[in-house]
Amino acid sequence: MTMSLPTKEVSMLKGKRIAINTGGGDAPGLNAVIEAVVMSAYHRNWEVYGIKNGYTGLLNTDEIVRLTPEVVRRISILGGTILGTTNKGNPFEMPIKNVTGDIEIRDVSDRVIQNFKRLRFDCLVAVGGDGSLKIAYDLFRKGMPVIGVPKTIDNDLGGTVITFGFDTAVSTATEAIDRLHSTARSHERVMVVEVMGRHAGWIALNSGISGAAHVILIPEIPFDIDRICDHIMEDELHGDHYAIVVVAEGAAPKGAKALNKGAGEVGRQDVLLGGIGGFVAQEISKRTGKDARSMVLGHLQRGGSPTTFDRLISLRFGSAAVRLIENEKFGTMVALDPPNVKAVPLEQVIGSIKSVPLDSDSIQTAKDIGICFGD
């Protein structure tokens, strides 16, 4: 079944037809962006259509859904995304089974563009992180009008002070760290918490400081395991018989690469990271003789309702995206530049990882209050 199309006259009367998709790993706030886009478009007499599962919904158009105020009303408080998402659907590098049953990587982006034009969409609002926004930019270069909205719990996307989803992830991680203090103290143990953060240590840094960690390990600062052990033993001398170590999944010892679990599913653009928490716990135990346990916080950080901050910023991003469409600022991304939301060219954003600056106030604060980075 394909979507029924309005006649040209009806389409013109009704104003613009906007498509929206959510791509990559989910993040709390996606539904709030969708609600704001739909409501802002509705008040301009425009129509919004939801593309399912990232860009794959523009290849198989059967599941495209009309998003009306009735569909999206009050979804801003819900986690996840009503449109579904995937990190395997890059139309420029789509894994497709050939006649012999082997997987071939093919560029099917022309089909995406054709379907977009056939459905008479005026713009795609692409909500995603670096990978999804790179696809949006490549489609823009092929003639598709797009507006990007920055999402990732990792907060590692350039061009914007903050991405939505990050604040919720930090709150979840902080709450988990808070809870570990009592059990670690009771057993005089070292508890190592592995949090997300592939390329940048924002979640580890912010939750580690807020959760009163003893040690924070981030990708930006390669660590020396002996320095960490010395710090834990010094704290021990001062009466702290337990320790909390917060480690970003992308952190690595000096001279080593981040630990990974391989390529993951077919069509995935990046390797699955993980394992550094277990490694750090094992090494600390070996060297200090203390009990050490590790836990991986994993996808808990992506789940649940968005915090107040993430709800607000997601709604502001969605509404700003519609204003950018109105002003035909295609090929740009909405970005937070406090107190304003502005537009930045997608070209400037993609591929630019926003790392934690080593001279940042947060790193300095952490060091001043006695937190060790293993450097």
Residue nearest to ligand F6P (CB): 25
- Report the residue number, 31 or 319, with the smaller CB distance to ligand F6P: 31
In whole angstroms, the minimum distance from the beta carbon of 19 to ligand F6P comes to 23
Q: Which residues contact 271 (CB under 8 A, 6 or more apart)?
A: 260, 261, 262, 263, 264
Residues 6 or more apart in contact with residue 147 via CB below 8 angstroms: 123, 124, 125, 126, 321, 324, 325, 329, 330, 332, 333, 334
Cα 301 to Cα 365: distance, rounded to the nearest angstrom = 24
Contact residues for ligand F6P, defined by CB under 6 A: 25, 87, 152-154, 196-198, 249, 272-273, 302
Closest contact distance (angstroms) between CB of 292 and ligand F6P is 23
Min dist. Cβ of residue 194 to ligand F6P (A): 11
Query: Choosing from 130, 154, 156, 167, which is the catalytic residue?
Result: 154
Q: At what angle do helices 202-210 and 361-368 cross, to 10 degrees?
A: 40
- Residue 262 or residue 339: which is nearer to ligand F6P going by CB? 262
Nearest-angstrom CA–CA distance, 310 and 166:
8
Nearer to ligand F6P, 152 or 319 (CB): 152
Sheet containing 65-67: order of strands: 65-67, 47-50, 17-22, 123-128, 146-150, 332-337, 340-345
C-alpha neighbours within 13 Å on the C-beta side of residue 293: 11
Residue type, 229: C
Residue 187 CB, shortest distance to ligand F6P, in Å, is 29
The answer to whether residue 110 is catalytic is no
Q: Which is nearer to ligand F6P, 25 or 331 (CB)?
A: 25
Query: Which are the catalytic amino acids?
Result: 154
